[in-house]
A and B are shown apart, each in its own frame.
Chain A
Amino acid sequence: MDDQRLVETLRSLPVPDAEGAQMRARDLVLAAHAGRRPAGRRRRRGVLALASAVIGGAVALSATQGPGVERWVREALRTSVADPHAQPAGLAGLPGGGRLLVSTGLDAWVAGQGLTRPIAHTRGGGVSWSAFGNYIACGCGQRLEAVALSGRVVWTERFAARVGPPTWSPDGNRIAFTVGRELYVTAGDGTGARGLRPAPASGLFGLAAWRPGPGHVLAVRDAPRRVSLIDTDTGRVLARIPLESDPVSLGWSSDGRRLLVTTRRTLRVYNADSRLVSRRQTSPGASITVAGISPSGHQIAYVVRGTNGRLETVLSAVERPRDNRVLLVGSALGGLLFSPDGRWLLVAWNELDSWMFFTTTTPTRARQITRVAAHFGSAEAVATAWCCVARPPAAGGG
């Protein structure tokens, strides 16, 4: 075969499902183009929106906090609004980079790195990033599915009862989920699903967390007022952590050396041997609604509801209990997420339909993304996971 024939043959080979792929991509590309705004306008609007939001935050903070908070607000205002290098507010480039997985109740969306689009119709089911953020696992009715970012369903496994929110292990080789009231673990390709033990929790969202590192160890609420560390490959229980009440969330540092266990009243950080490193307790009458541990394991963030009903987002150093920073005060603060590199903290500020991004270093700086509901066509949009700053090179291979 000479060069000319090779060229002609390569250019005429029938590509499988070429027309279908083209139509799907065409719709996405046109939608992405329609959703963009000329850069100049976007930047001005972003800065103005940020200014208004931070001023709003300043009012909220200064009304309830002391002079230290007021000083911080002034610093944040000065830094954020006057910053000539501030990124335009928008979902294309998140502060901290990476991509967010967003649930609207009916659909799962991906946002960031130039993409904002729905990728799976979840109908209220839970979703989880794969290890490198190239797939999501979805508990969709009685099916567990892996879906590529294009929306292509890579595999599907059916079960006899409703599949609860899945959680994908950091090495990509296991997925934990519930079927009915039983805890299941399957391989990352959807094969070999097996029941592990009864799961008293109705779902595992926030209540099961894979330990990063070797093996497949799951921290899971497996009984009322108890968290267990289970080697899912052998079924062996490595540790049991008794609690005074049920946990509201579990989270590991990225090196697997620290585990944050949060209940309504306490924040406990354990080391790899399940020994208590740090314990915080809310003041009487206050309760913690959500919490997270930074990838480094040295910071925790939480939202606490005070006796006056106001919510505060607090960033705190694990080793220095007195090192607390109140980032935001409001009446409707939602979830929070650390960026994959730990340098940013996302706080959902629902009363302003905004996501606030705070740096976790000092001095604190803030960024804002407004009109969250409009971005996702839903007032129920919740950022559930933040993945992968250093995205591996493959676009579709894991």
Chain B
Amino acid sequence: MMAATEAQALGSSRSANRIGRPDVLSARREAGLVRSAQRGDAAAVEALFAAFWPQCHRAAWLITRDHGAAEDIAQEGFLAAVAALDRFDRSRRLGPWLQTIVARRAIDHARARAVRREIQDGPVDGRGDGVAAGTSTASRPSDRLLDALAGLDHERRAVVVLRHLLGLSPRQIAEILDVPVGTVNSRMRRGLDQLRLEMEDADG
């Protein structure tokens, strides 16, 4: 996919730590691209987009479980970032900023969908095949994990995704969710316990 190849060409250095932030650009390379983008360089914007879109889109999808909404949310997040590009402080990292924008919107979406329906929700894709949560017959680990994630309530699911996909710390997650760090830790523990139980059930 374009993102992977461009990220590699730009000197991708995915971290190998256990739940580390998956850096796709070195800090120096990222700062250079942001500076060029602020000056109007479209190639720099494209490179930044290619580096950060896949993960933001993935996070939005895992949190919302709705690929149409995830596309909208990630798009809006990136467009908001472009609109605020001139004001962006280059001493900060762009990736976490973008991830935070998208994660907040995805969580807001998940929360709002629970209480308000402007239009009837379309099919929500746990796996996209209509298998209901908790009734998994999937055989691949990835399918079983998706089913198990679908069974989590959106608050626990968000914590697991922010921690294990985006590599955010409990403190950062607490800021995004606007809850105490202790709440993040308890949601994480319960979410992971529930995931393990459902995965074990599926394994028989």
Contact = CB atoms under 8 A, between A and B. Distances in A.
Interface string B65-78: 01111111111111
Given A32-B79, A33-B45, A395 B72 contact: yes
Interface string A289-304: 0000000000000000
B122 A154 contact: yes
A10 B164 contact: yes
A250 B86 CA distance: 42
Given A3-B18, A149-B72, A92 B116 contact: no
B79 A189 contact: no
Most buried by A among B49, B105, B108, B119: B119
A114 B81 CA distance: 9
Given A10-B161, A13-B146, A394-B112, A152 B18 contact: no
Contact of A25 (B18, B62, B71, B121): B71
Interface in A17-47: 17-19, 21-22, 24-26, 28-30, 32-34, 36, 38-39
Interface in A180-222: 187-191
Given A13-B58, A155-B119, A114 B80 contact: yes
A3 B22 contact: no
Nearest to A392: B112
Contacts of A187: 120
Interface in A41-95: 92
Interface in B1-45: 1-3, 18-19, 22, 37, 40, 42, 45
A147 to B, nearest CB: 11
Contacts of B55: 11
A395 B73 contact: yes
A26 B75 CA distance: 9
A284 interface: no
Nearest to A114: B83
A15 interface: yes
Interface residues of B, number: 70
Contacts of B187: none
A308 interface: no
A146 B117 CA distance: 14
A6 B58 CA distance: 14
B18 A4 contact: yes
A150 B57 CA distance: 14
A111 to B, nearest CB: 12
B195 interface: yes
Interface residues of A, number: 59
Contacts of A14: 142
Contacts of B145: 1, 6, 9-10, 13
Contacts of B113: 394, 397-398
Contact of A3 (B2, B79, B85, B164): B164
Given A9-B142, A29-B45, A18 B22 contact: no
Contact of B68 (A18, A33, A152, A189): A152
Most buried by B among A12, A18, A22, A33: A33
Given A16-B125, A16-B128, A36-B85, A30 B116 contact: no
A271 B75 CA distance: 43
Interface stretch (A127-135, A261-269, A353-361, A365-373): A127-135
A25 B112 contact: no
Nearest to B120: A189
A135 B120 contact: no
Nearest to B125: A16
B49 A29 contact: yes
B187 to A, nearest CB: 15
B83 A26 contact: no
A385 interface: no
Contacts of A1: 141, 145, 195-196, 199
B68 A154 contact: yes
B111 A393 contact: yes
A15 B58 contact: yes
A19 B121 CA distance: 23
A16 to B, nearest CB: 4
Which 4 A-B residue pairings sit nearest by Cβ, starting from the closest? A398-B118, A189-B120, A114-B83, A393-B108
Interface of A: 1, 3-7, 9-19, 21-22, 24-26, 28-30, 32-34, 36, 38-39, 92, 114-115, 130-132, 134-135, 146, 148-150, 152, 154-155, 172, 187-191, 392-398
Interface of B: 1-3, 18-19, 22, 37, 40, 42, 45-46, 49-50, 53-55, 57-58, 61-62, 64, 66-80, 82-87, 105-106, 108-109, 111-113, 116-122, 125, 128, 141-142, 145-146, 160-161, 164-165, 192, 195-196, 199
